[in-house]
Amino acid sequence: MNATLVVILLLLANVIFSAIGFRNKNFFYKYQFVVEKVLLQRQYWRVLTAGFLHVGWGHLAVNMLTFYFFGVDMVYAISAWQLFLIYFASLIGGQLFALFIHRHHADYSAVGASGAVAGVVFATIAYMPDMYVNILGIIPLPGWLYAIMYIFISIYGIRSKSDNIGHEAHLAGALTGMLLMIAMYPAILRAHYLSIAAILLPCIFFIYIVLTRPYILLIRNNFFQKHQPYLSIDDKYRMERAHREKQVDAILEKIQRKGMISLTSEERKTLEEYSNKL
């Protein structure tokens, strides 16, 4: 398979999957990353599917444009399977890191391809550190400087935590992508060791901080207190009921807009199960 085709297919998959999620909240809730669903209910597919959902068109556009600009450079340097491996390894690596960080926060949720895209960005810069990135098409930045800025933007995202975007996954995804590229092409470590060190060391440092001293990165110390660290059976029941009610509300809203005929078989089943429990 041609590497350019891999870029196109991944772009299309993200756009289609996200667009469905924008229109169908039930679909969004089913495939987003939720710690409780992954760890307690063993819905492991959410680790992967959440990477193809986004919180809005802006979030999707930023990720896909970044992936496109760096992906088209990568297609001339590596094979299709290598690009495919870097994308999905970075996606899963970022999600697993977020899962570990929030393993005691059952209600934590996130979506986005940012971990995968960060992996592709950092892998590209490791291979071609002298490349330039044109911000808005008018501001040229060296690739290594762009990568360092990306790290600090991710750290700000972790600190503010005002959205549903998995900022923790950015750092782990970036680190995964860069290390994979170095493993595939060890010669680049010797050729570009200063640029790689300038990017890799801050990334590793901030991951260490997230793992060992997360309070340093929090603007509000009550961020982690918002979550349920220990869940009783009643807690789990209430959270499950709240999640189900969100799904039902989304279905009822769809009925109001488009009528009963617009429901999928899965949505009809959800509505029927909810009605039987009343």
Give the CATH number of the domain where residue 106 resides: 1.20.1540.10
Arithmetic mean of pLDDT, 254-272: 81
What's the whole-number average pLDDT of the chain? 80
Q: Which of 204, 226, 248 is the last residue of a domain?
A: 226
Residue 63: pLDDT band with limits 50, 70, 90: confident
Max mean pLDDT range (75-89, 147-161, 262-276): 75-89
99 pLDDT higher than 50: yes
Q: Are residues 196 and 69 in the same domain?
A: yes
Arithmetic mean of pLDDT, 217-232: 44
Query: Which of 51-55, 192-196, 210-214 has the lowest average pLDDT?
Result: 210-214
Q: Are residues 125 and 170 in the same domain?
A: yes
228 pLDDT higher than 90: no
Q: Which two tokens stand for residue 26?
A: 């039930």
Q: Hey, is 44 helix, strand or coil?
A: coil
CA distance 92 to 275: 37
Q: Are residues 209 and 248 in the same domain?
A: no
Q: Hey, is 165 helix, strand or coil?
A: strand
Q: Are residues 133 and 73 in the same domain?
A: yes
Strands (E), the chain: 33-34, 109-110, 132-135, 139-142
Q: Which two tokens stand for residue 109?
A: 């949720």
Q: Are residues 222 and 237 in the same domain?
A: no
Q: Hey, is 186 helix, strand or coil?
A: coil
Q: Are residues 134 and 198 in the same domain?
A: yes
> Taking a C-beta distance cutoff of 8 angstroms, is the pair 168, 223 a contact?
no
**pLDDT at residue number 265:** 81
Q: Hey, is 131 helix, strand or coil?
A: coil
**pLDDT at residue number 185:** 93
Q: Are residues 243 and 210 in the same domain?
A: no
Rg over alpha carbons for the chain, rounded to the nearest Å, is 20
Q: Are residues 213 and 238 in the same domain?
A: no
Count of domains in the chain?
2
Cα distances from 41 to residues 23, 92, 153, 234, 269, in angstroms, run 26, 19, 33, 16, 19
Q: What domain range is 266 assigned to?
A: 233-277
Cα distances from 149 to residues 46, 63, 143, 156, 180, in angstroms, run 29, 16, 10, 11, 21
Arithmetic mean of pLDDT, 6-35: 92
Arithmetic mean of pLDDT, 99-119: 85
Q: Are residues 111 and 246 in the same domain?
A: no
Arithmetic mean of pLDDT, 126-130: 85
**pLDDT at residue number 230:** 44
Q: How, if at all, do strands 109-110 and 139-142 pair?
A: unpaired
Q: What value, to the nearest 5°, has the Cα angle with vertex 174 and ends 99 and 222?
A: 45
Q: Are residues 158 and 200 in the same domain?
A: yes
CA nearest to 10, candidates 95, 59, 80: 80
Q: Are residues 48 and 140 in the same domain?
A: yes
CA distance 53 to 22: 9
Residue 217: pLDDT band with limits 50, 70, 90: low
Arithmetic mean of pLDDT, 121-135: 83
Residue 181: pLDDT band with limits 50, 70, 90: very high
**pLDDT at residue number 45:** 93
CA distance 205 to 152: 12
CA distance 16 to 21: 9
CA distance 113 to 45: 15
Model pTM greater than 0.75? no
Q: Are residues 147 and 181 in the same domain?
A: yes
Q: Which two tokens stand for residue 123?
A: 């892998």
CA distance 48 to 30: 12
